[in-house]
Chains A and B, each alone.
Chain A
Amino acid sequence: MNRPLTPDEIRQTVLRLLGEIAPEADVTGLNPGVSFRDQLDLDSMDFLNLVIMIHKTFGVEIPEADYPKYGTLNGCMEQLSGKQAT
């Protein structure tokens, strides 16, 4: 079994995925408690792509009902903490 990801690894990975979706944005300066949509002008298609990328990268199942929990960096950290590295 792989070791759990550290919080910093999760953070860096989520920021990398966001950077792929919004390459023009400076994701390093994101406020972790404010929604990605508000800070990066993501639309529903962008957000769906983020969810899909998180699913593929972290190997986690994400029910549609949980989408709002992934709307901020803090939310992603909370949802993904303790998940196994893939």
Chain B
Amino acid sequence: MAEFLMPTLGSDMTEGTLVEWKKKVGDRVVKGEIIAEVDTEKAAIDVESFHAGVIERLIVKPGERVPVGTVMAIIREEGTQSTPAVQAPASPSPLLTVSPKEPVSSLSPAPPPVAAQDTEPGRLRISPAARKLAAELGVDPAAVQGTGPGGAITLDDIQREARTRRQQRAAPAVLAGETGERQARMRQTIAAAMARSKREIPHYYLSTTIDMGRAMIWLKEENLKRPVTDRLIYGVLLIKAVALALRQVPELNALWKETAAIRSPDIHVGVAVSLRQGGLVAPAIHDTDKRSLGELMTSFQDVVKRARAGTLRGSELSDPTITVTSLGEQGVETVFGVIYPPQVALIGFGKLVERPWVIEGQVVSRPVVTATLSADHRVTDGHRGGVFLSVIDRLLQEPGQL
């Protein structure tokens, strides 16, 4: 038997809401097949199975919000017998039940019943402990809706009210409706990840200016050979160069686990995609280094389209081993990025600009781009970071080899 768990789609995700099952009990699934849609703080995500077999049990119901790691379903792997008498591992209680497709308004767990101390009509039903906590947190008990027996105000009610107030203070301009709520949650998610990054990761930054003259000439000639549907954009050259450079500086292709960085055997470049309604996601293009430029272009178009349509897959959000971001189209020349934990590096590209460039003593005009590395100093030193940037530069001088 295999367990299908609520996945973690990024270090900042702590829980998710099952929107719907794509399979029913008895259905056969193959590895990599989408079996559930999960609503995270950032988007609704299609989640794949990591096991092949037959759906034995669907434990979590649509609308239930559960912590990361919760067993959501049991998959009977090929060649094993159905064991209906076997109990599935205990699933944590759902934190909140909402109708599918509806925004989540609270993340608070259902409070356990507690004995109310004050029971006289007209008086608040609140335990001394809850009253003390309310005073500590600056919460007015009269403004709290009790959920305990007989409407008693519990410790959890006080904590929920305090949390709600903090969120309201942090996001005073929350927009109305589902889109606004999702935007607000995404902003909070990004805020948490970036705050964690700056708190825990000692960043260092290096930059280099790269002559893109050869690459742009090669790209122009290459696109002349391609039909309009298969043409490349120059960003694909940058992504591929980063992926190939990671083969030579693999310590930057790693994830931080508790006390050390673990190198990833695979190179999954996450590409930062800004969303039209605000915020961003950085889905992985799996095995970036192994794809041809044409394949990479197709995958890049696909993830950008699905990121903006809200149909990314879980593995695309959980698997990036490094992030590439480009703000050149916004006119930015140099990007000083914040590493997305648990990754240990991020590379940013600025605007492609014409600049005077000296070649063999002659000043000529060349298209150049500034590449900036943000890296985790716990994992690498400036020397290796510098080697990484120089490898990217060298690769972009031989675009036909990408």
Let me know if B228 is at the binding interface, CB within 8 A: yes
* Residue of B whose beta carbon sits closest to that of A47: B233
Cβ 8 A contact of B233, one of A24, A44, A61 = A44
* Residue of A whose beta carbon sits closest to that of B230: A52
With A24-B277, A49-B301 given, is the CB distance from A43 to B329 under 8 Å? yes
- What is the count of residue pairs linking A and B with beta-carbon distances less than 8 angstroms? 32
When each residue 38-57 of chain A gets 1 if its CB lies under 8 Å from chain B and 0 otherwise, what string results?
00010111001101100110
B233: chain A residues at CB < 8 Å are: 44-45, 48
Cβ 8 A contact of B228, one of A41, A44, A62 = A62
- A45 near B229 with CB under 8 A, answer no
A51: chain B residues at CB < 8 Å are: 228
The smallest beta-carbon distance between B293 and chain A, in angstroms, is: 14
* Residue of B whose beta carbon sits closest to that of A42: B329
B301: chain A residues at CB < 8 Å are: 45, 48-49
How far apart are the CA atoms of A46 and B11 in the complex, in Å? 29
Cβ 8 A contact of A44, one of B220, B229, B276, B329 = B329
- A45 near B300 with CB under 8 A, answer yes
B304: chain A residues at CB < 8 Å are: 45
- A55 near B229 with CB under 8 A, answer yes
B229: chain A residues at CB < 8 Å are: 52, 55-56
- Interface residue total, chain A, C-beta cutoff 8 A: 16
How far apart are the CA atoms of A33 and B277 in the complex, in Å? 25
How far apart are the CA atoms of A56 and B230 in the complex, in Å? 13
When each residue 3-45 of chain A gets 1 if its CB lies under 8 Å from chain B and 0 otherwise, what string results?
0000000000000000000101000000000000000010111
The smallest beta-carbon distance between B60 and chain A, in angstroms, is: 31
Q: Does more than half of chain B's interface fall in helix, strand or loop, or is it mixed?
A: helix
How far apart are the CA atoms of A1 and B305 in the complex, in Å? 35
Let me know if B359 is at the binding interface, CB within 8 A: no
Within 8 A of A (CB), among B300-347: 300-301, 304-305, 329
When each residue 215-242 of chain B gets 1 if its CB lies under 8 Å from chain A and 0 otherwise, what string results?
0000010011000110101010000000
* Residue of B whose beta carbon sits closest to that of A40: B276
- B223 near A64 with CB under 8 A, answer yes
The smallest beta-carbon distance between A69 and chain B, in angstroms, is: 14
- A64 near B231 with CB under 8 A, answer yes
The smallest beta-carbon distance between A58 and chain B, in angstroms, is: 12
How far apart are the CA atoms of A43 and B351 in the complex, in Å? 13
Within 8 A of A (CB), among B250-284: 274, 276-277
B300: chain A residues at CB < 8 Å are: 45
B305: chain A residues at CB < 8 Å are: 49
A52: chain B residues at CB < 8 Å are: 228-229
Cβ 8 A contact of A64, one of B224, B274, B276 = B224
Cβ 8 A contact of B220, one of A24, A43, A55, A64 = A64
Binding site for B on A (CB under 8 A): 22, 24, 41, 43-45, 48-49, 51-52, 55-56, 61-64
The 6 closest A-B pairs by CB, nearest first: A55-B228, A64-B223, A43-B329, A45-B304, A24-B276, A44-B233
Interface contacts beyond A44-B329, A45-B304, A64-B223: sample of 9 additional A-B pairs, CB < 8 Å, sorted by A = A22-B276, A24-B276, A41-B276, A43-B274, A43-B329, A45-B300, A49-B301, A56-B229, A61-B228
